[in-house]
Amino acid sequence: MGLIPRENEFFVYFEKIAQNVVEGAKALHDLMTDFTNVPEKAKKVLDLEHEGDILTHEIIDLLNRTFITPLDREDIHGLVMDLDDILDLSEEVADRLVMYRVTAPEAGAVKLVEIVLASAEEVSKAINGLRNLKRSRRVLDHCIEINRLENEGDRYSREALASLLNDTTDALKVIKWKEILETLEKAIDKCEDVAKVIENVVVKNT
Amino acid sequence: MGLIPRENEFFVYFEKIAQNVVEGAKALHDLMTDFTNVPEKAKKVLDLEHEGDILTHEIIDLLNRTFITPLDREDIHGLVMDLDDILDLSEEVADRLVMYRVTAPEAGAVKLVEIVLASAEEVSKAINGLRNLKRSRRVLDHCIEINRLENEGDRYSREALASLLNDTTDALKVIKWKEILETLEKAIDKCEDVAKVIENVVVKNT
Amino acid sequence: MGLIPRENEFFVYFEKIAQNVVEGAKALHDLMTDFTNVPEKAKKVLDLEHEGDILTHEIIDLLNRTFITPLDREDIHGLVMDLDDILDLSEEVADRLVMYRVTAPEAGAVKLVEIVLASAEEVSKAINGLRNLKRSRRVLDHCIEINRLENEGDRYSREALASLLNDTTDALKVIKWKEILETLEKAIDKCEDVAKVIENVVVKNT
């Protein structure tokens, strides 16, 4: 009797956390595509990251209090940590844009933020599908799309760095953007890590 | 009856994949030691990487279709992924040499490519020894040599970066070569990861 | 009868190794806060790192010869490797200070070395508490402090890099210090990895 409500609780948390990751990516995208009120917009990403920390704390607490879990304990832990990392890295990008006093975006970084946002949305859809693994085909399709986005991001990132290196003589600018591009790439990689855990969950449960 | 042929299939794949990694390292070495027809030579590394992707796909497919495997499933998976990474990183170096419009090699990078090639050759010899673990002493000797090469590479890489930082005033050049040196170091690290899996396989099987 | 003495042997090694890590951090701190006799002081860090390698080799050897271990085999292995990494990274910082011909410390790097030292001291205290897990509350308090120091280090590191990027026009100097700051951050991260293993050990044993 008590099993199903608690099972539901986990999925409610997953969905909230994933939605919050999407909100964080959107806030970063807003900042990167319109460089006005930068500190304010960066603050919004930071607030969402704090919201994510609270949700993470709550679901880990629930995990520690629950004997029978709807997914393997280590998979729940892995998913939660990876989702948290996506938001942490998004916040790190926003923070660097402020601290490096960036005044205009680089084209390559804008493309990468678009990929972060698209990946986060696919992550959220895949997470929403965990409730009903009978439709696992759809869940796996979102995972495939996340992988495709990661490859695309990898290519954009290499090209963006090469463009910077070839087109500017300002080495300090290159160092700043290289750091930002790498942080964006890590956020995209974390989305791929989420997809790997989900694929694994699907394989074990179908 | 059906067990031995399939066992053989795995080893045939391992050997092909390792040989392909060696070919990739050779192609990168050709490029780094003679900077003519750079895009053409980089294309050759890319073609070998694609060849590797196909072989990787095939052996993972074989793994999924096979119930009793000659090595632990996770070791096969680990070996295949690490071997694939060596080639991916070799390709990444070749790609960056083209994209950064490099016209002459740095002495330190040439040394590191030599270590990538030597490590890949040792990896291939160690892999070839997996068929006959009764001669495990030889397999372990190759692993020890891979570890030695990794230490040597680490030292060269540190020195090469320091030389660049002390000998040039061109910061953009330093950023480019730092990125290339780090990618070469990662390729050497992946050879060491292969050695670790093989050492583990030997310990478990003798 | 033979169990307790051998158990004791492991704890003696852990404590020696952790103390050696503290000595290494102190030697690095001495170097970073007083830039005189730099190669000599860097040599001291290197000597301590070699001492650590010997201790690591000995405890791994003991582990391989021992059937029943006081902590899970994988936890012992993990602790030893992470402790070794802290010292390796401390040595890497000292080595880079020599190789990059650094003549004066950056304020941000000094702060980070202070955190490396404080974290190493907390690590040593937590390790010393492993003998008596009945007082696990104290052990966990040291782990919490290590986590707090890691967060602080992360913040300092970001700020130090931003200061460099905003306050100097010397890109080569930025590249050098960025590398040093990142290596210090990795050393602090490794202290956090030790804390994670210890927290896990406490959870499993109480």
ipTM of the complex: 0.89
Min Cα separation A95/chain C (Å): 9
The residue of B161, B173, B175, B192 whose CB has the most chain C CBs within 10 angstroms, and thus the best one to mutate to test that interface, is: B161
SS3 C16: helix
Asked whether the predicted pLDDT for residue B1 surpasses 50, the reply is no
The residue assigned the tokens 């499933």 is: B73
Nearest CA in chain C to A174: C171
What is the structure's pLDDT at C91? 98
> Are B126 and B142 within 8 A, CB to CB?
yes
Of A158, A159, A174, the CB nearest to B172: A174
Min Cα separation B85/chain A (Å): 14
Nearest CA in chain B to C178: B175
Q: Counting every residue, how long is chain B?
A: 206
Nearest to A127 by CA among A64, A83, A178, A95: A83
What's the mean pLDDT when you consider all of chain B? Answer: 94
What is the structure's pLDDT at B4? 59
Kindly state the DSSP code that residue B117 receives in the 8-state scheme: H
What is the structure's pLDDT at C1? 42
Going by pLDDT thresholds of 50, 70 and 90, the confidence category of residue C133 is: confident
Q: In the numeric block, which tokens belong to residue A148?
A: 């495709």
Going by pLDDT thresholds of 50, 70 and 90, the confidence category of residue A3 is: low
Kindly state the DSSP code that residue A2 receives in the 8-state scheme: -
Contact residues on chain A for B100, CB-CB shorter than 8 A: 162, 165-166
How far is residue B102's CA from residue B29's CA, in Å, rounded to a whole number?
A: 15
Min Cα separation B155/chain C (Å): 10
Contact residues on chain B for C63, CB-CB shorter than 8 A: none
Going by pLDDT thresholds of 50, 70 and 90, the confidence category of residue C132 is: confident
- Check if B174 contacts C (Cβ < 8 Å): yes
How far is residue C71's CA from residue A33's CA, in Å, rounded to a whole number?
A: 52
What is the structure's pLDDT at B153? 97
Min Cα separation B99/chain A (Å): 6
How far is residue A196's CA from residue B17's CA, in Å, rounded to a whole number?
A: 24
The residue of A155, A157, A161, A168 whose CB has the most chain B CBs within 10 angstroms, and thus the best one to mutate to test that interface, is: A161
Nearest to B123 by CA among B21, B9, B29, B33: B21
Domains of chain C: 3-205 (1.20.58.220)
What is the structure's pLDDT at B136? 86
Min Cα separation B98/chain A (Å): 10
Q: In the numeric block, which tokens belong to residue C118?
A: 């404080």
- A114: alpha, beta or left? (left if phi > 0; alpha if psi -120 to 50): alpha
pLDDT above 90 coverage of chain B, percent: 88
What string of H, E and C letters represents the secondary structure of B4-29? Answer: HHHHHHHHHHHHHHHHHHHHHHHHHH
CA-based torsion, B99, B103, B109, B115: positive or negative? positive
The residue of C158, C165, C175 whose CB has the most chain A CBs within 10 angstroms, and thus the best one to mutate to test that interface, is: C165
Contact C174 A172 (CB under 8 A): yes
Average pLDDT on A109-122 reads 98
- Check if A3 contacts C (Cβ < 8 Å): no
SS3 A24: helix
How far is residue B46's CA from residue B51's CA, in Å, rounded to a whole number?
A: 9
How far is residue A187's CA from residue C109's CA, in Å, rounded to a whole number?
A: 27
> Are C93 and C187 within 8 A, CB to CB?
yes
What is the structure's pLDDT at C4? 58
Going by pLDDT thresholds of 50, 70 and 90, the confidence category of residue C121 is: very high
> Are C157 and C140 within 8 A, CB to CB?
no
> Are C6 and C20 within 8 A, CB to CB?
no
Contact residues on chain A for B96, CB-CB shorter than 8 A: 158, 162
- Check if C96 contacts B (Cβ < 8 Å): yes
What is the structure's pLDDT at C205? 82
Min Cα separation B146/chain A (Å): 29
- Check if B159 contacts C (Cβ < 8 Å): yes
Residue A5 burial (C-beta neighbours within 10 Å; 0-12, 13-18, 19+)? exposed
The string over C81-117, giving b where at least 16 C-beta atoms fall within 10 Å of a residue's C-beta and e elsewhere, is ebbbbbbbbbbbbbbbbbbbebeebbebbebbbbbbb
The string of DSSP codes covering C155-188 is HHHHHHHHHHHHH---HHHHHHHHHHHHHHHHHH
> Are C198 and C130 within 8 A, CB to CB?
yes
How far is residue B66's CA from residue A53's CA, in Å, rounded to a whole number?
A: 43
Residue C51's H or E segment, with its range, is: helix C38-65
List pLDDT tens digits, range B93-125. Answer: 999 999 999 999 999 999 999 999 999 999 999
Q: Count each helix (H run) and each strand (E run) in chain A, helices first.
A: 6, 0
Touching subunits for chain A (3+ Cβ pairs under 8 A): B, C
Greatest pairwise CA separation for chain C in angstroms: 67
Asked whether the predicted pLDDT for residue A89 surpasses 70, the reply is yes
How far is residue B163's CA from residue B150's CA, in Å, rounded to a whole number?
A: 20
Give the distance, in angstroms, between the CA of residue A105 and the centroid of all CA atoms in the same chain: 20
> Are C23 and C123 within 8 A, CB to CB?
no
How far is residue B83's CA from residue B124's CA, in Å, rounded to a whole number?
A: 10
